[in-house]
């Protein structure tokens, strides 16, 4: 016998168990149905599922359920991005092995995830720290290496000189960039590390024609890749003083990249990044101390701080000079932290007259300013009294053979001045047209324990070679000292690193660094396809059926790194014949953020964290899901409101009451009552269908609330027992099912006695005729001001609407007896009478 009171705890547990026992959400290849791969970003096993996870996942689940009801064979998997630093930190702090900490958290979070009542197919769960998973992360590494897409080079890392260890980005804290453990200011140190050639794909990554992704993400990626056209030009060093001191500073090539080769004649000094390798060579003996001190302070700042435009410019003169190749002028070389080694070549020509940063720098250090572009109609440019850099169009001046060449606002060859100068540089052999990217190759090496070991072997005879396929996975040993010691923990293991060279069989050493965890998460959507498959990273049949991902949902914070890496990964694999198609994820949508009740970002220290487990205990998962879909636009997010959730609590209870209260089953409602009910049902269905398609979740809930009110009215008016009432109930529960899966199932099977499961029912069809309004209300304007409203038949023609509008009291009064000059009818929207 069905229970009359709404006991969410009982209902939710009951259905979760039954769905699991029946494998209701098992997704199996079915060629007879169209597939739909819905992917939501997998969590890191921090140990606690927070409200942000619920906000990302439950609306994504509702939409996946909607697609399933629409007839798609939907795959909606879940897993854990389980390698990474927090596990090591927790282990250090609490003395638990990172593996135990991670897997204990996964067990807990899996239970929390199950409490959502989502349609995750747990048979497809993938955990990136499982050997059966990282086996293939390692295999991908060796494949990339074999295809020339992985290489080794020296690169700086953040280093704590006190702890004597490299630090991950997250371990460098505060504006002064200190070590999270001991507070010592962090410095940069060069280490030999592995990279992937992401930059090879820079141009292809800028092409978004195959994806339906938010504009914001596309813009962030475009800026991150930072393609710019210009020229590379060779300057040469000269000794620091006319007397020369035999310091060898003469004749070194300095390659620079500039987007404005047409301003070369205005380059009055050069600025090197403090890390530029030539700095030590060109620095004059009397400048050494000052240069060294500056280098040290620059090394302690982050790139973001160094590039900040509002920052006071600093720098020091090296005592060295270069020759500007276009006019043979001898110009001084400075170092400044705003020039990064990681952008371009680490050296720039400074054109203070036409670059704001260079202008500020020149004014501060009293360096010459020579204008080389004259603005149209402006007074003759003069470096002495310029108040700001001029970056507009005009014509070239002070530029030898190019004087008078027009300059427009275009970039690259589209600008006649740039185009002419590039041709000339190439002819003279001092430069060439080139393209520069902000995007760097992907640094893979981490000097960490809790990650996938990089499967490379070093032999003194044969250098680096990949671990042969039949020796994969390279298992991560459990008996290590993972505490901070200043080295990669695997290096300190007594035996692990000893192996044999795959070429000669002689003793050799393993790479002791582990992989960036972004490598593991670049292909997890592929591992879900066949998480236990052992003949390859995935089963091809599964790939051919399910890929690409049809909808990917997750946070905007992943716009650049993860979402660029995963696109790169797909394209690189495609070129190796492993994957197919241009992109891994066709459509992307981002949710906003749930803030605390104080409108601030939730954090333990602020004490404004909302714990979903507690809410589920109090109200049930269905209500939490409904509120998360209702309280804000999903893509915007907003502050949590603990009073607000009462609205969802009330809605769920009133729906329960509507379906379970005993009412006599003899219809007495008028034909009009039934017609109005049916119209509302189909109008709601139409709106809800559209909103699901467009990720407009908040209006889905408000539409369902309105329809419920209409059903209460119809019940009062005697609709119960009619066909219209039965249809309303039927459609209502099916619309509700994706949002509140448990209560919908309970009411469907136990109270309406319909066949289990509601989640296997088709999405209802809109009856357009029933949904049509009999009459509609249209605003009436006179000269663009709202003066009245008019009710007309929904299918009224233009003439009918015009005469009805003219007859309104508001129109009569404000037309003041004048004849209408023009009447504009916007069908179904408004009438504007112009007098």
In the complex, the residues that contact Zn ion under the rule CB under 5 A are 160, 162-163, 179, 181-182, 184, 459, 461-462, 501, 503-504
DSSP assignment of 631-659, as one string?
SS-TTTEEE--TTTHHHHHHHHHHHHHHH
Residues 589 and 554 sit within 8 Å (Cβ to Cβ): no
Tokens standing for residue 781: 């304007």
Q: How far is the CB of 164 from Zn ion (least distance, A)?
A: 8
Nearest residue (CB) to Zn ion, 160 versus 593: 160
Residues 91 and 85 sit within 8 Å (Cβ to Cβ): no
Tokens standing for residue 719: 């609709």
Nearest residue (CB) to Zn ion, 462 versus 574: 462
CA angle, 776 then 778 then 781, to 5°: 170
Q: How far is the CB of 168 from Zn ion (least distance, A)?
A: 13
Q: How far is the CB of 648 from Zn ion (least distance, A)?
A: 48
Residues 358 and 322 sit within 8 Å (Cβ to Cβ): no
Nearest residue (CB) to Zn ion, 118 versus 459: 459
Ramachandran angles phi, psi of 690, nearest 5°: -60, -45
Q: CA dist 784 to 58, 814, 831, Å?
A: 44, 11, 9
Nearest residue (CB) to Zn ion, 462 versus 802: 462
Helix (H, G, I), strand (E, B) or coil at 158: strand
CA 83 to CA 65: how far, in whole Å?
A: 30
Nearest residue (CB) to Zn ion, 183 versus 406: 183
Helix (H, G, I), strand (E, B) or coil at 373: strand
Nearest residue (CB) to Zn ion, 171 versus 729: 171
Nearest residue (CB) to Zn ion, 191 versus 609: 191
Nearest residue (CB) to Zn ion, 381 versus 474: 474
Query: Which H or E run contains 299?
Result: helix 288-299
Nearest residue (CB) to Zn ion, 173 versus 424: 173
Q: How far is the CB of 504 from Zn ion (least distance, A)?
A: 3
Nearest residue (CB) to Zn ion, 163 versus 270: 163
Q: How far is the CB of 85 from Zn ion (least distance, A)?
A: 15
Q: How far is the CB of 447 from Zn ion (least distance, A)?
A: 14
Q: How far is the CB of 483 from Zn ion (least distance, A)?
A: 13
Tokens standing for residue 93: 């702090």
Q: What is the CA radius of gyration of the chain?
A: 34
Nearest residue (CB) to Zn ion, 506 versus 799: 506
Q: How far is the CB of 462 from Zn ion (least distance, A)?
A: 4
Sheet of 463-466, strand order: 463-466, 456-459, 507-510, 498-500
The angle, 0 to 180 degrees and rounded to 10, between the axes of the packed helices 671-693 and 697-716 is: 170
Q: How far is the CB of 457 from Zn ion (least distance, A)?
A: 8
Q: How far is the CB of 122 from Zn ion (least distance, A)?
A: 41
Ramachandran angles phi, psi of 732, nearest 5°: -60, -50
Nearest residue (CB) to Zn ion, 459 versus 615: 459
Q: How far is the CB of 171 from Zn ion (least distance, A)?
A: 9
Q: Is 229 exposed, middle or buried (0-12, 13-18, 19+ CB in 10 A)?
A: middle
Residues 37 and 684 sit within 8 Å (Cβ to Cβ): no
What is the SS3 assignment for 260-276? Answer: CHHHHHHCCEEEECCCC
Nearest residue (CB) to Zn ion, 28 versus 504: 504
Residues 338 and 357 sit within 8 Å (Cβ to Cβ): yes
Nearest residue (CB) to Zn ion, 279 versus 459: 459
CA 803 to CA 441: how far, in whole Å?
A: 69
Helix (H, G, I), strand (E, B) or coil at 679: helix
Nearest residue (CB) to Zn ion, 162 versus 587: 162
Nearest residue (CB) to Zn ion, 160 versus 563: 160
| Nearest 10 degrees: Cα torsion 501, 135, 156, 342 | 120
Residue whose token pair is 């908040």: 698
Q: How far is the CB of 185 from Zn ion (least distance, A)?
A: 9
CA angle, 665 then 749 then 35, to 5°: 130
Q: How far is the CB of 506 from Zn ion (least distance, A)?
A: 5
Nearest residue (CB) to Zn ion, 162 versus 434: 162
Q: How far is the CB of 472 from Zn ion (least distance, A)?
A: 19
The angle, 0 to 180 degrees and rounded to 10, between the axes of the packed helices 98-114 and 85-94 is: 110
CA 431 to CA 425: how far, in whole Å?
A: 5
Nearest one of 792, 794, 795, 788 to 814, comparing CA atoms: 788
Start-to-end CA span in the chain (Å): 70
DSSP assignment of 480-515, as one string?
---S--SS-GGGGSSSTTEEE-TTT-SEEEE---EE
Residues 234 and 253 sit within 8 Å (Cβ to Cβ): yes
Q: How far is the CB of 121 from Zn ion (least distance, A)?
A: 44
Q: How far is the CB of 167 from Zn ion (least distance, A)?
A: 8
Q: CA dist 104 to 108, 122, 337, 339, 730, Å?
A: 6, 17, 45, 46, 43
Q: How far is the CB of 550 from Zn ion (least distance, A)?
A: 46
Q: CA dist 794 to 234, 772, 776, 832, Å?
A: 73, 8, 5, 18
CA 750 to CA 752: how far, in whole Å?
A: 6
């Amino acid at each position: 016998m069905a229970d009359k009171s709404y006991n969410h705890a009982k209902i939710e547990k009951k259905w979760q168990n039954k769905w699991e026992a029946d494998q209701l959400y098992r997704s199996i290849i079915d060629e007879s149905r169209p597939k739909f791969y819905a992917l939501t970003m997998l969590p890191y096993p921090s140990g606690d599922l927070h409200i942000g996870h619920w906000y990302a996942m439950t609306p994504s689940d509702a939409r996946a359920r909607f697609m399933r009801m629409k007839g798609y064979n939907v795959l909606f998997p879940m897993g854990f991005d389980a390698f990474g630093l927090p596990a090591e930190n927790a282990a250090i702090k609490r003395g638990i092995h990172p593996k135990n900490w991670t897997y204990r958290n996964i067990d807990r979070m899996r239970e929390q995830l199950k409490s959502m009542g989502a349609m995750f197919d747990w048979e497809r769960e993938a955990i990136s720290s499982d050997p059966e998973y990282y086996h293939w992360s390692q295999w991908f590494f060796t494949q990339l290496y074999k295809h020339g897409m992985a290489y080794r080079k020296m690169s700086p890392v953040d280093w704590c000189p006190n702890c004597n260890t490299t630090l991950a980005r997250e371990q460098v804290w505060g504006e002064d960039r200190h070590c999270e453990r001991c507070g010592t200011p962090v410095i940069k140190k060069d280490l030999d590390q592995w990279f992937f050639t992401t930059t090879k794909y820079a141009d292809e990554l800028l092409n978004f024609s195959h994806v339906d992704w938010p504009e914001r993400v596309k813009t962030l990626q475009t800026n991150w890749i930072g393609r710019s056209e210009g020229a590379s030009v060779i300057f040469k060093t000269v000794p620091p003083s006319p007397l020369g001191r035999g310091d060898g500073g003469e004749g070194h090539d300095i390659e620079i990249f500039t987007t404005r080769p047409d301003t070369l004649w205005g380059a009055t000094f050069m600025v090197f990044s403090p890390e530029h390798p030539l700095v030590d060579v060109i620095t004059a003996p009397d400048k050494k101390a000052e240069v060294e001190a500056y280098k040290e302070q620059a090394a302690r700042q982050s790139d973001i701080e160094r590039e900040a435009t509002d920052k006071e410019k600093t720098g020091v003169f090296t005592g060295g000079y270069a020759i500007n190749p276009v006019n043979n002028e001898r110009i001084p070389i400075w170092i400044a932290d705003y020039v990064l080694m990681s952008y371009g070549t680490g050296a720039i020509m400074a054109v203070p007259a036409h670059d704001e940063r260079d202008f500020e720098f020149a004014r501060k250090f009293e360096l010459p300013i020579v204008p080389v572009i004259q603005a149209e109609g402006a007074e003759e440019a003069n470096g002495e009294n310029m108040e700001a850099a001029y970056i507009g169009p005009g014509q070239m001046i002070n530029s030898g053979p190019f004087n008078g060449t027009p300059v427009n606002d275009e970039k690259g060859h589209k600008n006649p001045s740039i185009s002419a100068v590039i041709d000339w540089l190439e002819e003279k052999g001092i430069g060439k047209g080139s393209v520069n990217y902000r995007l760097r190759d992907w640094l893979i090496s981490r000097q960490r324990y809790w990650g996938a070991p990089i499967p490379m072997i070093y032999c003194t005879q044969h250098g680096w070679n990949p671990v042969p396929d039949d020796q994969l996975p390279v298992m991560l040993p459990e008996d290590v000292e993972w505490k901070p010691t200043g080295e990669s923990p695997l290096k300190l293991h007594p035996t692990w690193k000893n192996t044999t060279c795959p070429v000669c069989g002689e003793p050799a050493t393993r790479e002791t660094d582990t992989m960036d965890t972004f490598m593991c998460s670049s292909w997890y959507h592929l591992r879900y396809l066949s998480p236990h498959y052992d003949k390859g990273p995935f089963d091809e049949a599964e790939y051919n059926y399910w890929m690409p991902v049809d909808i990917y949902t997750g946070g905007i914070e992943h716009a650049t790194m993860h979402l660029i890496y995963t696109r790169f990964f797909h394209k690189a694999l495609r070129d190796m014949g492993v994957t197919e198609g241009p992109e891994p994820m066709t459509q992307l949508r981002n949710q906003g953020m749930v803030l605390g009740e104080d409108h601030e970002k939730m954090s333990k220290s602020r004490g404004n964290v909302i714990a979903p487990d507690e809410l589920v205990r109090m109200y049930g998962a269905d209500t939490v899901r409904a509120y998360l879909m209702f309280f804000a636009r999903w893509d915007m997010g907003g502050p949590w409101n603990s009073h607000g959730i009462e609205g969802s609590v009330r809605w769920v209870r009133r729906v329960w009451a509507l379906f379970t209260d005993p009412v006599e089953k003899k219809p007495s409602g008028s034909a009009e009552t039934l017609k109005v009910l049916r119209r509302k049902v189909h109008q709601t269905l139409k709106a809800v269908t559209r909103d699901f398609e467009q990720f407009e979740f908040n209006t889905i809930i408000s539409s369902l609330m309105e329809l419920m009110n209409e059903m209460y009215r119809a019940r009062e008016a005697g609709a119960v027992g009619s066909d219209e009432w039965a249809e309303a109930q039927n459609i209502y529960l099916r619309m509700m099912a994706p949002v509140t899966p448990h209560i919908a199932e309970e009411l469907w099977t136990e109270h309406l006695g319909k066949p289990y499961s509601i989640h296997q029912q088709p999405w209802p069809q809109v009856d357009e005729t029933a949904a049509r309004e009999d009459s509609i209300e249209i605003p009436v304007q006179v000269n663009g001001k709202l003066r009245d409203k008019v009710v007309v038949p929904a299918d009224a023609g233009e003439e009918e609407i015009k005469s009805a509008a003219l007859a309104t009291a508001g129109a009569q009064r404000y037309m003041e007896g004048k004849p209408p000059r023009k009447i504009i009818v916007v069908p179904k929207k408004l009438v504007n009478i112009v007098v």
